[in-house]
Structure 1
Amino acid sequence: MDHRYGILTVTTLSTLMAAIDSTIVYLALPAMGQTFHSGISYLTLVVAAYIISTTVMLVPAIEITKRIGNRNFYIIGFSIFTVSSLIIAVSLNIAMVIIFRFVEGIGAGIMTSSDIPIILGAFRKGERGKAIGLNSIAWSIGTLIGPVLGGFLVAINWRYIFLINVPIGIGTMFAGYKIIKKDKVDKLPIKYKSTISMALFLIPLIMGIALINEYYLLIALIILPVFIYVQIKQPVIDRKLLGNIRFSLITLASFLESFVFFSVLFALSLYFQSDLGLSSIDTGLIIFTYPVASIVSSPIGGILYDRYRHPETIMAIGTILECVPVLIIGIYLKYIPELLLIAGFGGSFFWSPSTTMITDALGEKFRVQANNAMFILRNIGIITAISILPLFILHFSRINVSIGEIFVSKARIDISAGIGAYLVFTAIISLSSLIFIFVYHRRARSSNTMDTAGVVDLQHRTIK
């Protein structure tokens, strides 16, 4: 095998594993609740912990990579991911699962942030686009495989969804060590203050929301001034990026759109298994329609971006196609597979153009920083959306989300009112991204009008 494609295979496999792990756990939540006598609030933290740590690791990732080298950082990430997966699989209580899901997310964050620099270093300029495209497809395939694979593994035992990472992780880690060349290192400063302050603020905030606990929220409130001060001195997102209006508008739209992104999978996994009494396999097959449609429509979104003059219009159509079906599901809780299919198509019409628009707005120099910034804000949106689900179940379904015994009897739990209200809320929040898309469209049109006027004026002067 060509050395370059060996590197691409290894890095793509790590992307695939991280993507599968981000969605596979949804199917295991009710089974975890039965095993550990854990309530919905703690199961929410199982999901949120992984996304929090993955997000936090993106802040110092670029500096750490350059300081210790791509290969070393990549191997460290894979080691953390593999060992923590093994510990989760043999966990004795829900606290162990949550703690090591956080650790596992750190490993996943390192893996995903190392992939692209390794690929860029292995391929020549004319080949990089294709290589990165193949690596990106692995993420889509991973989110597609996750629910189905999770459904089958959970039917045997939920611990297998983590055990499966161990042999694959060990094999890929050693292959990476052999194939990926050692690279040069630079003594760059690391944004450790930003990373620590972000983690110290997000962790109690999300725990306070998910557990409906005012003490954690109070801790987050106390840490907030410190977090703001650190961000002023050492911002997570470069001020040069925030100064670009086009970047800011698209990033804010992406933040709001992310509310409906993973929350649908999370909420419906609980609803199908805990309320309707469906098996994990049936649940996985129903949810499968959402990522399938997303993968099929993703290239279409990219083609439309290249051909259409105003790609923000494609984003607006995608937002409506994704959010309106979710809104209907929330109101009626009927025709769910069909509506998820439409929502999946819409999601890709938003995400494909938005990612490209950000890099086009800022150019090659800020491409990595821009992608990381959008990924951070998108993940914060996902974390927030996931963590508020227990509030809706508590308020609308009148179920104490902290009580673990509700899953033990395997009896059906009526959470339909809470799930419905939650889906309606997240759909409306995501629909509000249309405001920023509209502002972007107005600015783009006025900019084009000014450019056209300038050309006409120049032509007029030339004729004179």
Structure 2
Amino acid sequence: MARSETLQRQVQVSGERPQLGPHYKWIALSNTTLGMLMATINSSILLIALPAIFTGIGINPLAPGETNYFLWLLLGYMVVTATLLVTFGRISDMFGRVRMYNLGFAIFTLGSILLFLTPGKGNAAALELIIFRLVQGVGGGFLFANSTAILTDAFPPHQRGMAMGINQIASILGSIIGLILGGILATINWRVVFLVSVPFGLFGTVWAYWMLRETATIRGHQKIDWLGNITFALGLTILLIGITYGLEPYGNQPMGWTNPLVILAIVVGIILLVAFVFVELHVSDPMFRLDLFKIRMFTAGNLSSLLASIARGGLQFMLIIWLQGIWLPLHGYSFEETPLWAGIYMLPLMIGFIAFGPLSGWLSDRFGARLFSTLGMVIQALGFLCLTFLPANFDYIWFALILLLMGIGQGMFAAPNTTAIMNSVPADRRGVASGMRSTFQNSATVMSIGIFFSVVTIGLATALPPALASGLTVAGVPVAVADKIAHLPPTSALFAAFLGYNPMATLLPAAVLQHIAPAQRAHLLGKEFFPNLIASPFMFGLRAVFYLSLVLCLLAAVASLLRGRRYIHDVEAGTLASETQQMAAAPTQGGAKD
């Protein structure tokens, strides 16, 4: 039997924590950081590699009936992860966080191997890829649900903010590395995009199995809340599926929000989630610990995290479309090159986060989370305000400085807020608390993408058709064809730009292009026609999104400000101890109240 399992059983029987060496906390930090890095790289690596993947399996993701494959490969991982986080957190509290974290590493690695070995072609291969990505999502759910709980268990209160800051660097670092790595590996072979995570997954699985120890006290005789799990999983899954399909055109509408099935999914999802709350209030051992919301710090932290995630969750998605569809082509990059360069030009966002994530976490250990989290959200709001002043074809230095500012704000908010949430809950509920925190964050990200994309698409649907019809007609396209193309859902053009395809080459039939004079054809397919055509209506919708995000960031700042003084749950006494009491008990921890 492995040492970790032996220690875990000792903990369950005796209720005492195993004695760990002084370096164990760094082992926990390095392993969970590797897990977060691997999971987030795989979340963003597809954004750049999707064209190569669809070419490799022989599918046109923009063809009628094929868009579903694109959306599910893009969002399926996030949907399944968000749905399972609370359940996995609760299971981890019952059976051991380290054991479930190890299982997550193994499942994620299995999913990566299956993706690399995808045997089929065409639609069968697309379906296989989606299923294997969902397997990865299950593994990612175990990793996300337990990493912060394991860190909270391993580190003393006066070092948790610093540890969370370092760990969360992996999230933003992984999202940017994934963009760049996806662009590089996709030029080699689409299968290599999935193979790259396998050696890290195998190493992480073995390392976690042998080195991580179960330090939490696990209560015996706990029951699984089956009804709560089912209503929550079904409700959130159906709701997120409705949001996902709301991004697709329906009939002559540019979006699918009027689709009866989308409306039904959203309504049924909400009804099931309401039923879930009722169930949790009436079962003896609930999955979703609603009583945790009686803790002011926990409630304020999660509310601010939810608002912040809605505000910025779709930011990367929109910035990539802006760069790939407008700015990069206008600056001489071919559409095929834009995915890789979009990742490179977004590096300032990562730099700001790396610089201030661990620093703000370290400072929050001494001065509390309220100041840094609140200021971080105010800085994020200022960044969104600055973005509204940029023209479609901006001077990059200003764009880079704004991204740097937003990275700083994001870094100042994330680690202190997460640490405050985890410090405020009893030790035996850290798994479910971590799962609840991650559920709010991941679900908000999916909702944010749906909101951002819908607002921008509605703006395009209003202003783009007349501009597109006029531009195509002037360029020599027959009036009837130009009018038909102009009234196609603008999502096709946006998805094309996002995937690194030439939008006009995907919209115009090949037969029409062959009958156009070479000079006019070159103009239509060139680097300036589509960007100049889409710039004005796109920026109209994008600025509306930025204003919405600005308001959400300010609301998150208010929620963060109202969190109250910092406190750490005293496990032995079963009370919430103020920071002053904590410092009196442990003089080496030092610090001051908010």
TM range (shorter): 0.7 to 0.9
Aligned twin of 1:373: 436
Count of residue pairs the alignment pairs up: 444
Q: 2:276 aligned to 230, 234, 238, which one? A: 230
Distance 1:393 1:33 in 2: 25
Same amino acid, percent of matched pairs: 25
Q: Residue 431 and residue 438 in structure 1: after superposition, are their counterparts in 2 closer, same or farther (change >3 A)?
A: same
Name the stretch that deviates more: 138-147 or 283-292.
138-147
- Verify: 1:38 aligned to 2:70, yes or no: no
Distance 1:125 1:353 in 2: 12
Distance 1:347 1:54 in 2: 22
Aligned twin of 2:344: 285
Q: 1:221 aligned to 257, 264, 267, which one? A: 267
Q: Residue 123 and residue 298 in structure 1: after superposition, are their counterparts in 2 closer, same or farther (change >3 A)?
A: closer
Name the stretch that deviates more: 380-389 or 178-187.
178-187
Aligned twin of 1:108: 140
Amino acid at match of 1:387: G
Is 1:151–1:280's contact at 8 Å kept on the other side of the alignment?
A: yes
Distance 1:136 1:355 in 2: 10
Amino acid at match of 1:283: A
1:360-386 superposed Cα distances (whole Å, 9 cap, x missing partner): 666767665544333221222111111
Pairs within 5 Å for 1:249-328: 249-275=300-326, 276=329, 277=335, 278-302=337-361, 305=364, 306-307=366-367, 310-311=371-372, 313-328=374-389
Is 1:259–1:385's contact at 8 Å kept on the other side of the alignment?
A: yes
- Verify: 1:22 aligned to 2:43, yes or no: yes
Q: Residue 108 and residue 417 in structure 1: after superposition, are their counterparts in 2 closer, same or farther (change >3 A)?
A: farther
1:188-217 superposed Cα distances (whole Å, 9 cap, x missing partner): 223443343333233332233233243143
Q: 1:355 aligned to 418, 430, 433, which one? A: 418
Q: 1:198 aligned to 228, 232, 236, which one? A: 232
Aligned twin of 2:191: 159
| 1:50, distance to aligned residue in structure 2 (A) | 1.4
Distance 2:420 2:275 in 1: 31
SS in 1 for 2:224: coil
Distance 1:381 1:182 in 2: 31
Distance 2:95 2:392 in 1: 53
Q: Residue 43 and residue 417 in structure 1: after superposition, are their counterparts in 2 closer, same or farther (change >3 A)?
A: farther
Amino acid at match of 1:196: I
Q: Where does structure 1 lack aligned partners over 5 or more consecutive residues?
A: 446-464
Q: Residue 22 and residue 228 in structure 1: after superposition, are their counterparts in 2 closer, same or farther (change >3 A)?
A: same
Pairs within 5 Å for 1:63-462: 63-89=90-116, 90=118, 92=121, 93=123, 94-118=126-150, 134-180=166-212, 186-203=220-237, 204-211=241-248, 212=256, 213-234=259-280, 237-245=288-296, 247-275=298-326, 276=329, 277=335, 278-302=337-361, 305=364, 306-307=366-367, 310-311=371-372, 313-329=374-390, 332=392, 334=394, 335=396, 336-359=399-422, 369-392=432-455, 394-398=457-461, 400=489, 410-412=501-503, 414=530, 416=535, 420-421=539-540, 423-433=542-552, 434-435=554-555, 437-438=557-558, 441=561
1:328-349 superposed Cα distances (whole Å, 9 cap, x missing partner): 45x6452333332222222223
Give me the TM-score of the superposition, normalised by structure 1: 0.79
Q: Where does structure 2 lack aligned partners over 5 or more consecutive residues?
A: 1-20, 249-255, 282-286, 330-334, 462-487, 505-529, 566-594
Give me the TM-score of the superposition, normalised by structure 2: 0.64
Amino acid at match of 1:257: A
Is 1:326–1:343's contact at 8 Å kept on the other side of the alignment?
A: no
Distance 1:443 1:176 in 2: 35
Distance 1:350 1:121 in 2: 22
Q: 1:47 aligned to 64, 74, 80, which one? A: 74
Amino acid at match of 1:233: V
SS in 2 for 1:210: coil
More RCO (CA 8 Å, sep 6+): 1
| 1:310, distance to aligned residue in structure 2 (A) | 4.4
RMSD across aligned positions (CA): 3.9
1:230-255 superposed Cα distances (whole Å, 9 cap, x missing partner): 22212765332333455434433322
Q: Residue 348 and residue 182 in structure 1: after superposition, are their counterparts in 2 closer, same or farther (change >3 A)?
A: closer
Is 2:93–2:430's contact at 8 Å kept on the other side of the alignment?
A: no
Is 1:249–1:440's contact at 8 Å kept on the other side of the alignment?
A: yes
| 1:435, distance to aligned residue in structure 2 (A) | 3.4
Distance 1:373 1:232 in 2: 17
Distance 1:292 1:223 in 2: 38
Is 1:14–1:111's contact at 8 Å kept on the other side of the alignment?
A: yes
| 1:46, distance to aligned residue in structure 2 (A) | 2.6
Distance 2:150 2:33 in 1: 11
Amino acid at match of 1:289: P
Q: Residue 130 and residue 187 in structure 1: after superposition, are their counterparts in 2 closer, same or farther (change >3 A)?
A: farther
SS in 2 for 1:36: coil
Distance 2:422 2:153 in 1: 19
Is 1:267–1:419's contact at 8 Å kept on the other side of the alignment?
A: no
Distance 1:228 1:95 in 2: 32
| 1:107, distance to aligned residue in structure 2 (A) | 0.6
Amino acid at match of 1:427: F
Q: Residue 444 and residue 192 in structure 1: after superposition, are their counterparts in 2 closer, same or farther (change >3 A)?
A: same
Is 2:49–2:186's contact at 8 Å kept on the other side of the alignment?
A: yes
- Verify: 1:11 aligned to 2:32, yes or no: yes
Distance 2:131 2:232 in 1: 17
Aligned twin of 2:591: none
Amino acid at match of 1:411: N
Distance 1:406 1:72 in 2: 42
Q: Residue 370 and residue 111 in structure 1: after superposition, are their counterparts in 2 closer, same or farther (change >3 A)?
A: closer
